[in-house]
Amino acid sequence: MVGQRRKRIKPDKEAEIYIRKQEDKQGFVVKEIPLKGRGVVTPEEFDNGDFLLQYPGKLLPESVAEALEEDEGHPSVFRYFFSFKGKTSCYDATEETEKGPSYGRLVNHGEPHERNCNMKVISVEDVPYLCLFASETIRVGSELLYDYGLPDAKLPWKHMEQPPSPSSSPLDTSHQEQPPSPSSSPLDTSHHEQPLSPSSSPLDTSHQEQPLSPSSSPLDTSHQEQPPSPSSSPLDTSHQEQPPSPSSSPLDTSHQEQPPSPSSSPLDTSHQEQPPSPSSSPLDTSHQEQPPSPSSSPLDTSHQEQPLSPSSSPLDTLSQIVPESHYLRMPNVSVRMSVYLSFSYSWLLLDYSELWEHCHYNVNTMLLQKSM
Ligand X SMILES: C[S@@+](CC[C@H](N)C(=O)[O-])C[C@H]1O[C@@H](n2cnc3c(N)ncnc32)[C@H](O)[C@@H]1O
Q: Which of 106, 122, 315, 337 binds ligand X (CB under 6 A)?
A: 106
- Our CA angle for 112, 113, 115, nearest 5°, is 65
Which string of x and - marks every residue 190-229 that binds ligand X (by CB under 6 A)?
----------------------------------------
Candidate residues 108, 135, 264, 342; the one interacting with ligand X per rule CB under 6 A: 108
Check residue 91 for interaction with ligand X (CB under 6 A): no
Residue nearest to ligand X (CB): 37
Residue of 53, 65, 77, 196 that binds ligand X (CB under 6 A): 77
- Please provide the distance, in angstroms rounded to a whole number, between the alpha carbons at the two ends of the chain: 147
Phi, psi of 53 (to 5 degrees): -145, 155
Question: Which residue stretch of 106-114, 167-175, 198-206, 258-266 sits at the interface with ligand X (rule: CB under 6 A)?
Answer: 106-114
Give the residue, chosen from 118, 184, 265, 319, that forms a contact with ligand X under the rule CB under 6 A.
184
Rg (CA), the chain: 51
Q: Report the residue number, 93 or 315, with the smaller CB distance to ligand X.
A: 93
Task: Output 16 or 32, the one with its CB closest to ligand X.
Answer: 32
Cα–chain center distance at 140: 42
* Pairing assessment for the beta strands 117-124 and 127-134 based on DSSP bridges: antiparallel
Asked whether position 116 contacts ligand X by CB under 6 A, the answer is no
**Residue from 11, 34, 186, 195 in contact with ligand X (CB under 6 A):** 186
The span of 59-67, 179-187, 195-203, 249-257 binding ligand X (CB under 6 A) equals 179-187
What is the SS3 assignment for 94-140? CCCCCCCCCHHHHCEECCCCCCCEEEEEEEECCEEEEEEEECCCECC
Give residue 307's Cα distance to chain centre.
Answer: 66
Q: Which amino acid is at 75?
A: P
Nearer to ligand X, 156 or 195 (CB): 156
Spell out the residues 6+ positions from residue 209 whose beta carbon is closer than 8 angstroms to its own. none
Residue numbers at the binding site for ligand X (CB under 6 A): 35-39, 77-78, 105-106, 108-109, 156-157, 181, 184, 186
